Structures are given as structure tokens and as C-alpha cells.
């Protein structure tokens, strides 16, 4: 004991138990083993003898040690974190998808960093930047308008990226989304089978690949039925209720309005129904509406919505799995996964068409 100092705060370094954070060093000391042994125990290495392990674990518990993943990341070059960037968490579709991602991650050791872009390039770039500062091991992104392919390509070199819901042209990248073309086809085929001849397509921003594909399916099916695709019946707008309301009114104000519409998603569809009601038309009677997504609310609206059901939870899980796979095997060839969807018929698409009602 070299007690030359009279300052009581300068005790032997080993004695500073105070209220500071407990580190792996403290555990090692307490258990009477080296730091590497503790590290091995923390990571469940089988190289540690059972007795040693038990002793270390006892110390961990006793001292209330909690692992510092940040410090580990610095050394090991992996953060055990992934970034999840959605366009709108407020859309039940994405909310469900988010819990799907979480569930898909549950078994793994990853935690998700969540970001919401509000479908805005500015926020997306900000988020991407912030997230990269945290060195996520992978990124799950639903790209918004104007997302730079070059930027994404650059990012991919550093961090695995998987796109979901929307993809980008000219980019070799992992992706999981719904079979939107098929979805557009079955929605349109349903309306055609009901006797509709003039069918509109409402909402969605032109840059959304999901929207493009749904529109593609819509056009395919019209062509098969020998109905010409009329550009005036296709209206662009945000994927929101308000977008749907405005879109349907635009359609109704034309000189030869449609009698039915495929809406880009359920939010747009309910907006369309509100728009119809606001001018005295009854959805499902005077006008047939079909949506996309089958969010929980769809069956509760009035009238209950006919819609193309996707499984967002499953989609989220798949996206998470695909990302984990890519993290494990960064050099593998990108995979494009496309999930089936199915039509759920409810009242908003109504029965067979009668005469179009003049507005």
C-alpha cells in the first residue's frame, strides 16, 4: 500500500467502484479472469469452461453490468443495428409492415433504427445521412421520389441495402414487394366482370413503382377486354385520403365520367368514397370503388371496401429476412421477391352496373 497521497479520491485504481458505469474490466476483475474471457462469455463462445462461465455470469449479475454495444461495434465493425426507413408510418400499411420487420428481426441480434420520410426527399436524405453515422449493418428503404440511383449504388458499397414496396429502375438491388401488376389486373378484371366499361384509376404519385405496376395491370386488363385506355381517366395524386377525394371529383367532373375506379391504395379509396358521398353518389351503388392493401379499417368503412389484399406484416418479415441474408452474404446476387396478392370483394364495388347516374 503506497499511501503517499493524502487525497482520498486517489485510491488504487482497482478500488474505484463508486457509481460509475460498470465495464467489462470490472467484471473481469470481480470474477478473477481476464477481459477476453469475459468477452467470450458475453458472446456465448463455447470456448469457455462451464465453471468459468458461471463465475463470470455471477459477477455480471452482481455488478449489474450492461454490455456496451457501441464499444463493441467500434472494434468489431458491426453495430447490430439496421436502419428502417418508411415513407409514412401513419399509413396502417406501413405500421403493420414495421411490426413485421421487427418480428423478422426478433430472432436475430439486430435492433431497428426507425425513420419516417413523409415521402419527402429532403427528409430521406437527412435520415440516410444520420443513419449512416450510426454505421448500421444494413438498411431497409422504401425509396421516395427523386432517390438518386448513384447515391444508392454508393451506399450499397458500404452497407447492404434492401428496398421494399417500391423499387428503382436500373439498379441491381434486393427488393421485396407485392405483385402489383397482378393486383392491378385482378382489381380491374373484377370491375369489368361487373359490367363496367369506363373505369378510372385514381391517385398515387407517378414515381411510385407500386403505383406504376398497378396501373400497368389495370391497362393490361382493359386491353384484354378490348376497352381502350383513356388517359383522361387516369389521375395522379398523393397516396392519401385527400388525394383520393380530389381525384374522384376530377373524374366525376369530366363530360363522360367513369362508373368505377381502381384506387391506388385504401387511403385513396376511402377518400374517393368520401368524395362520392359529398356529391350525393353512393359508393357501391352509383359508383364502384376498389382499393389496394386491405388495411384493417377497410372492412369498417361505409360501405366496406373491396380491395386487393397485401400482407404487410409478411412483407416486412420477408424484407428483414432478405436483409439478414444479404448481411450474411454481401456478395450474393440481389434477389427480387414479389409477394402474391388477392382480391377481397366487399360492398364498395357493388353488384352489376345499371345505368350510369347523371351527376
Partner DNA sequence: CTGAAAGCGCTAACAA
Partner DNA sequence: TTGTTAGCGCTTTCAG
- Name the residues that contact DNA, by CB under 7 A: 20-21, 23-25, 32-37, 39-40, 42-43, 46-49, 51-53, 65, 67-68, 71-72, 74-76
Which one of a copy of itself, DNA, none is in contact with 130 (Cβ closer than 5 to 8 A by kind)? a copy of itself
Nearer to DNA, 32 or 146 (CB): 32
How many angstroms separate the CA atoms of 44 and 215, rounded? 51
Residues 6 or more apart whose Cβ sits within 8 Å of residue 271: 203, 240, 241, 242, 243, 244, 245, 246, 247, 248
Cell numbers standing for residue 359: 351527376
Question: How near is the Cβ of 59 to DNA at its closest, in Å?
Answer: 12
**With binding defined as CB under 8 A, does residue 335 bind a copy of itself?**
no
If you ran DSSP here, which 8-state letter would residue 348 be given?
A: G
Which of 165, 181, 202, 270 forms a contact with a copy of itself (CB under 8 A)?
Answer: 270
Number of neighbouring beta carbons within 10 Å of residue 145: 14
Question: How near is the Cβ of 183 to a copy of itself at its closest, in Å?
Answer: 22
3-state secondary structure of 63: helix
Nearest to 186 by CA among 34, 4, 309, 354: 309
Instruction: Pick the stretch among 23-31, 225-233, 298-306, 325-333 that binds a copy of itself (CB under 8 A).
Output: 298-306
Which one of DNA, a copy of itself, none is in contact with 24 (Cβ closer than 5 to 8 A by kind)? DNA
Find out whether 229 and 219 touch, Cβ atoms under 8 Å: yes
Question: How near is the Cβ of 49 to DNA at its closest, in Å?
Answer: 4
Nearer to DNA, 76 or 148 (CB): 76
Instruction: Pick the stretch among 127-135, 172-180, 281-289, 337-345 that binds a copy of itself (CB under 8 A).
Output: 127-135
Cell numbers standing for residue 107: 430472432
Question: How near is the Cβ of 279 to DNA at its closest, in Å?
Answer: 59
**With binding defined as CB under 8 A, does residue 137 bind a copy of itself?**
no
**With binding defined as CB under 8 A, does residue 102 bind a copy of itself?**
yes
**With binding defined as CB under 8 A, does residue 328 bind a copy of itself?**
no
**With binding defined as CB under 8 A, does residue 69 bind a copy of itself?**
yes
Instruction: Pick the stretch among 131-139, 166-174, 199-207, 322-330 that binds a copy of itself (CB under 8 A).
Output: 131-139
**With binding defined as CB under 8 A, does residue 157 bind a copy of itself?**
yes
Residues 6 or more apart whose Cβ sits within 8 Å of residue 263: 201, 202, 203, 244, 247, 269, 272, 289, 290, 291, 292
The residue whose grid cell reads 360492398 is 347
Nearer to a copy of itself, 220 or 299 (CB): 299
Contact positions with a copy of itself (CB under 8 A) in 195-254: 241
**With binding defined as CB under 8 A, does residue 93 bind a copy of itself?**
no
How many angstroms separate the CA atoms of 247 and 242, rounded? 8
How many angstroms separate the CA atoms of 288 and 194, rounded? 9
Question: How near is the Cβ of 274 to a copy of itself at its closest, in Å?
Answer: 7
3-state secondary structure of 164: strand
Burial, 244: exposed, middle or buried (Cβ in 10 Å; 0-12, 13-18, 19+)? buried
Cell numbers standing for residue 241: 385520403
Nearer to a copy of itself, 57 or 73 (CB): 73
Burial, 129: exposed, middle or buried (Cβ in 10 Å; 0-12, 13-18, 19+)? exposed
> What is the binding site for a copy of itself (CB under 8 A)?
19, 21, 64, 66-71, 73-74, 79, 81, 89-90, 92, 95-96, 98-99, 102, 111-116, 118, 129-135, 154, 157-158, 241, 270, 274, 296-297, 300-302
Amino acid at each position: 500500500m503506497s499511501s503517499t497521497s493524502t487525497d482520498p479520491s486517489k485510491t488504487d485504481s482497482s478500488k474505484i467502484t463508486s457509481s460509475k458505469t460498470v465495464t467489462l474490466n470490472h467484471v473481469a476483475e470481480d470474477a478473477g479472469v481476464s477481459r477476453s474471457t469475459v468477452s467470450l462469455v458475453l458472446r456465448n463462445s463455447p470456448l469457455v469452461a462451464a465453471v468459468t462461465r458461471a463465475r463470470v455470469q455471477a459477477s455480471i449479475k452482481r455488478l449489474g453490468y450492461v454490455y456496451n454495444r457501441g464499444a463493441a461495434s467500434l472494434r468489431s465493425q458491426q453495430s447490430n443495428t439496421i436502419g428502417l426507413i418508411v415513407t409514412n408510418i401513419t399509413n396502417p400499411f406501413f405500421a403493420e409492415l414495421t411490426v413485421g420487420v421487427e418480428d423478422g428481426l426478433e430472432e436475430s441480434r439486430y435492433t431497428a433504427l426507425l425513420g419516417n420520410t413523409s415521402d419527402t426527399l429532403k427528409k430521406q436524405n437527412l435520415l440516410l445521412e444520420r443513419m449512416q453515422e450510426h454505421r448500421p449493418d444494413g438498411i431497409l428503404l422504401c425509396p421516395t421520389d427523386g432517390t438518386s440511383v448513384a447515391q444508392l449504388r454508393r451506399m450499397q458499397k458500404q452497407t447492404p441495402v434492401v428496398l421494399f414496396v417500391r423499387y428503382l429502375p436500373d439498379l441491381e438491388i434486393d427488393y421485396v414487394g407485392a405483385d402489383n401488376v397482378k393486383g392491378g389486373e385482378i382489381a380491374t378484371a373484377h370491375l369489368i366482370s361487373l359490367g363496367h366499361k369506363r373505369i378510372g384509376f385514381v391517385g398515387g404519385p407517378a414515381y411510385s413503382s407500386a403505383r406504376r405496376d398497378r396501373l400497368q395491370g389495370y391497362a393490361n386488363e382493359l386491353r384484354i377486354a378490348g376497352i381502350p385506355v383513356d388517359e383522361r381517366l387516369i389521375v395522379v395524386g398523393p397516396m392519401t385520403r385527400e388525394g383520393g377525394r380530389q381525384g374522384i371529383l376530377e373524374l366525376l367532373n369530366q363530360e363522360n365520367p367513369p362508373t368505377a375506379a381502381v384506387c391506388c391504395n385504401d387511403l385513396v379509396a376511402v377518400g374517393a368514397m368520401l368524395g362520392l358521398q359529398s356529391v350525393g353518389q353512393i359508393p357501391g351503388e352509383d359508383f364502384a370503388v376498389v382499393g389496394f392493401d386491405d388495411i384493417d379499417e377497410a372492412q369498417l368503412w361505409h360501405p366496406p371496401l373491396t380491395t386487393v389484399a397485401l400482407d404487410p406484416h409478411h412483407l416486412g418479415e420477408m424484407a428483414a429476412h432478405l436483409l439478414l441474408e444479404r448481411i450474411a452474404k454481401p456478395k450474393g446476387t440481389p434477389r427480387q421477391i414479389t409477394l402474391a396478392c388477392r382480391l377481397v370483394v366487399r360492398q364498395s364495388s357493388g353488384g352489376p352496373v345499371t345505368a350510369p347516374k347523371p351527376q
